[in-house]
Amino acid sequence: MLVANVTREQITVSNAVKTLTAATITSQVMYADIQIQAYQVRVTFDGSTAPVAATTGMLWNPGSVWRVWSEEQLEDLQFIREVITMLH
């Protein structure tokens, strides 16, 4: 199987739920490699359950790279920044 880069996108995840831009998800996209850079994020894949910091979704750490397969999963992917609470 030959694979070619179709598009790329960079999003900033904050305390509001973010998704990939619909225009970057086309029928040509088989998968996306998603790299987490500066902060932990929570992720859900079902399209209806919003990730909630500290409680809901899979925790992805900075420096990790995740491969997400299929147009449907990419459309349903949701992110939110994980809140880190410092105790004094």
If one compares 4 and 62, the residue with the highest pLDDT of the two is 62
Question: How is residue 13 written in tokens?
Answer: 């995840």
pLDDT band (50, 70, 90) for residue 36: very high
- Write down the pLDDT at residue 27: 81
Local confidence band at 85 (pLDDT 50, 70, 90 cut-offs): low
Give percent above pLDDT 90 in the chain.
65
Task: Give the Cα separation of 31 and 13 in Å (integer).
Answer: 20
What is the SS3 assignment for 23?
A: helix
Across 6-20, b (16+ Cβ under 10 Å) vs e yields: eeeeeeebeeebbeb
Q: Encode pLDDT of 44-68 as tens digits.
A: 999 999 999 889 999 999 999 999 9
At residue 22, the pLDDT reads: 87
